Amino acid sequence: MTNRTALGTAMALALTVPSLAAAQDLLVFDYSGFETPEFHQPFIDQHGASPEFVFFGDEDEAFQRLLAGFRSDVTHICAGSVPRWQESGIIEAWDRSRIDAYETLNSDLLGSDVRAGSADLMWVPTDFGSTAIAYNAETVPAEDVASLQIFTNPAYAGRLSIPDNVDDAYALAYLATGVTDWTNATDEQFEAATAWLRQIHPNLLNYWVDPGEIAQLMASGQVQAAWVWNEVPVALADEGFPVGFQRNTTEGTSVWLCGYVNMANGEGSEDQAYDFINAMHAEVSAGPLLDNGFGTANDAALQALGAEALEAAGLGPVTVPVLAQLPMSNEQRERQAEAFERIKSGF
């Protein structure tokens, strides 16, 4: 990266967070909400202001804008997208030696090849959460959510929901069909997971789009059990709803993970890019992230918050296999996305 002299596009100017105090040498392309100062307070302490933030709605939008010429310095994406971005040539590797918390990052979030140093560090995890079954604890017996096969149970037809998200959907389907590592899924395993998703389609009320939507459907009683992110049961519990969150299903549970990529053509400060990542990993950032439903990838900082806080946020320890939503090949992800769209359309 070289020092930025201009944002480069009118769109960037229009969508930049208005802040006279913004640090002008780093532009962060991100989901709305991650500009929260408490998430990167050490960066503010060091530079006197937050980085400049520009927001996108989803990662495909972000990808297309970057291919069209918009320039950022670091971009927030989830693990499943990394191979596609890497193959496009728009990102470059991070330097492990400049990631202060690298040795205490959760190894399950990095992947064994990256941890061993046999693969370039193309993406740095910063935040993660769990996906599991939330259910109405007053109307759904605990034994019914002991297995992911509740989604195939005709007794709950029309009262179930899963995310309108290909990664979460296939994490569920792979687990339900006996796969706990999707990075090397075979054709047969993909076909079995796809068939399982097709099997549960008639049982679903809908494919939920955002956490507020599924929380409302559960609170109204329309949905009795759903495959959700950990922030959903936390929000429902805060409202006094009798929600359960079953992460120890027989087949296992899932963890989604997101982080930042280093943009190859960024015009800002490379030093500030590392300062930002290190601020996100800082111990002081762990509490604010958890309060908003996100676990920090810095396991040392996360564990320092205590078991009670982690359990309350839906991120406590589990005794079953965990499918981490690690990067997969672009071909595999596209195949899953195509199949998922067909299933949602009834085919």
Q: How many other CB atoms are found less than 10 A from the CB of residue 150?
A: 24
Q: How far apart are CA 158 and CA 156, in angstroms?
A: 6
Which pLDDT band holds residue 242 (cuts at 50, 70, 90)?
very high
Instruction: Quick: pLDDT tens for 98-115.
Output: 999 999 999 888 877 787
> Using CA atoms, how far apart are residues 281 and 296, in angstroms rounded to an integer?
7
| Domains within the chain, CATH numbers bracketed | 10-127+257-312 (3.40.190.10), 129-255+319-344 (3.40.190.10)
Tell me the β-bridge partners of 53: 28
Torsion angle of C-alpha atoms 22, 28, 33, 36, degrees rounded to 10: -40
Please list, in sequence order, all residues whose beta carbon lies within 8 angstroms of the beta carbon of residue 61, skipping any fewer than 6 positions away.
none
Q: How far apart are CA 2 and CA 10, in angstroms?
A: 20
Q: Write down the pTM of the prediction.
A: 0.83
Contact indicator for 197, 169 with CB cutoff of 8 Å: yes
Which residues make beta-bridge pairs with 52? 27
- 121-154 pLDDT, tens digit each: 999 999 999 999 999 999 999 999 999 999 999 9
